[in-house]
Structure 1
Amino acid sequence: MALDLANYEEKAREATMAFWGNREKARQAQIEAGRADQGERAGVTAGKNMDGFLALLIDLVEANGLGHADVHQKRAVVTLPGYFRPTKLWDVLVIHRGHLVAAIELKSQVGPSFGNNFNNRTEEAIGTAHDLWTAYREGAFGQQPRPFVGWLMMVEDAPESRRKVTDRSPHFPVFEAFQGASYLKRYDVLCQRLVQEQLYSAASVLASPRQAAATGEFGAMSELTGLKTFVSTFAGHIAAEAARG
């Protein structure tokens, strides 16, 4: 089955430039409004930072045979039922003939507070997936094939996210993969294990420096968690759904 990756590299560079550009616009708007003390939070609350990657996902859906599917991205229509909670908001839902084809989360993290944010993102990612798959098992989405469940994370490539981190575990040793690992490396391990444990169909972490606002530069921590693996897996799932008619 030939997959169309929708020129993803060029579109991802454009999405990366937009990511940093939108953050800076939000920060400047806060300064002009006299609320500069919010710092990095201004960029986070802008809400449009990952829209370029959302557009890439939509292009992949259309390029691989499901242009007639419903791709939901507005807050009012991206809610799915949960098992441990009533509902969960996703960033993107793909629905075809009443079947849930894909549910995807798009996240980002910019310094300086990498430590607390990493733990929060980890707990959120695990809990969200476990909730969805339990709801799926219990028939929340009807009788249908397993959907694609994706988690895509953009992390600032900076000295703080690259430096080695020491953990304190007085009673039992930390797993070797995390010992002395930077926060970017920890995201890499997290994404690999999210897929290995079948919590996500694909999970990716992209590393990008602030100056990428002008260049669109981004990198991967490993082949398994790189963008090509994510978009290839997603495109394959979309093409398989299209082949079913």
Structure 2
Amino acid sequence: MNIDKRLRAAVQNYWNARRQNKEKQVKSGKIDAGTRGEVTGGTQMGGLEVLVSDILCEAGLKKVDVRTRTALELPGYFRATKKWDLIVVSDGALVLAMEFKSQAGKSIGNNVNNRSEEAVGSAKDIWTAFREGRFGTSPAPFLGYLFLLEDRDNVKTPVANKEPYFSVDPEFRGESHLKDTAAHRRYRGVSYSKRYELLCRRLVLERLYTSACFMMATNSRATKLTQPAEDLSFQRFVAALRGHVVTFLGSRST
């Protein structure tokens, strides 16, 4: 499998799906506000889900065990269940659970915090459920987080931090080596794309997710795909996936 080529095609499929959803809205005469019409239908990440599914099956998992459309609910601890985007249940064991998230359009500010809270909460919920034995006595599952951000000017521009009482983490100022001075506190801050990159990296550093991937792509009929951070690249993400599958299958054969 040419993963790079398949990845570009899957990301292009994301934009095509959004356009098709919007066109359906226009034809029906029911147009949602903003970009909501583009995501109505829930198929925009389908190309990426299929790509990951294929990678998992090529690594040795049974296709019937990899689910992306139905029966995606897993038990939680703080809530009864949570619906994931892709799960693998094999021989009664939870092998993997994944989230596929994206952000596109002009409105992005509030969504960064919402996505962060959602990612942290979902991970905390499932790991606590795992601790409580909701998934039996199987080894810990692979928890994956993949994020696709539209590559546009407003996500790459520094954003001011509001700090009425306390200073934010230096990483969110963009100059972590500077001392905490009045001049430093007036620093504008990092861009939204950098905030998402930090989110994905810290989700892994704090062991909330086994691996994370962060990508950016232009909204066009010939999309340009970039991967800002090597440690969050799709290639490294795939390597982690394959490694987990090999370990799981090896444990089953002994």
Rg comparison, structure with higher value: 2
Partner of 2:40: 45
Q: Post-superposition shift, 1:33?
A: 2.0
Q: Post-superposition shift, 1:32?
A: 2.0
Partner of 1:214: 222
TM-score by length of 1: 0.93
Q: Secondary structure at the match of 2:208?
A: coil
Q: Are the aligned partners of 1:69 and 1:97 in contact in 2 as well (CA < 8 Å)?
A: no
| Equivalent of 1:191 in 197, 200, 207 | 200
Higher mean C-alpha displacement, 29-38 vs 57-66:
29-38
User: How big is each residue's C-alpha offset from its partner over 1:96-119, in whole Å with a ceiling of 9 and x where there is no partner?
Assistant: 111000000111110211111111
| Equivalent of 1:153 in 147, 156, 166 | 147
State, as a whole percentage, how many aligned pairs show the same letter: 41
> Structure 2: how far apart are the matches of 1:21 and 1:11?
15
| Equivalent of 1:200 in 209, 227, 240 | 209
Partner of 1:3: none
Instruction: Give the letter for the 2:239 counterpart.
Output: S
| Equivalent of 1:230 in 229, 237, 242 | 237
Show structure 1 runs of 5+ residues with no match.
1-5
Q: How large is the Cα RMSD of the aligned pairs?
A: 1.3
Q: Post-superposition shift, 1:69?
A: 5.6
Q: How does 1:1-245 map to 2 (within 5 A)?
A: 6-36=1-31, 38-67=33-62, 70-75=65-70, 77-179=71-173, 180-211=189-220, 213-215=221-223, 217-244=224-251, 245=253
> Structure 2: how far apart are the matches of 1:45 and 1:122?
22
User: How big is each residue's C-alpha offset from its partner over 1:7-42, in whole Å with a ceiling of 9 and x where there is no partner?
Assistant: 321111110110001101111221222233523101
User: How big is each residue's C-alpha offset from its partner over 1:135-191, in whole Å with a ceiling of 9 and x where there is no partner?
Assistant: 001101010111000111111000111111001011111111111111111010001
Show structure 2 runs of 5+ residues with no match.
174-188
> Structure 2: how far apart are the matches of 1:9 and 1:162?
24
Q: Secondary structure at the match of 2:222?
A: helix
> Structure 1: how far apart are the matches of 2:222 and 2:163?
42
User: How big is each residue's C-alpha offset from its partner over 1:183-239, in whole Å with a ceiling of 9 and x where there is no partner?
Assistant: 11101000110000000011111100112x324x21112111111111111111112
Q: Post-superposition shift, 1:126?
A: 0.2
Instruction: Give the letter for the 2:27 counterpart.
Output: E
Change (3 A) 1:199 1:161: same
> Structure 1: how far apart are the matches of 2:69 and 2:47?
15
> Structure 1: how far apart are the matches of 2:27 and 2:245?
44
> Structure 1: how far apart are the matches of 2:41 and 2:61?
30
Higher relative contact order (CA 8 A, sep 6+): 1
Change (3 A) 1:97 1:160: same
> Structure 2: how far apart are the matches of 1:209 and 1:46?
21
Instruction: Give the letter for the 1:186 counterpart.
Output: R
Instruction: Give the letter for the 1:214 counterpart.
Output: A
Q: Secondary structure at the match of 1:153?
A: strand
Higher mean C-alpha displacement, 43-52 vs 148-157:
43-52
User: How big is each residue's C-alpha offset from its partner over 1:40-67, in whole Å with a ceiling of 9 and x where there is no partner?
Assistant: 1011222111111111111111111113
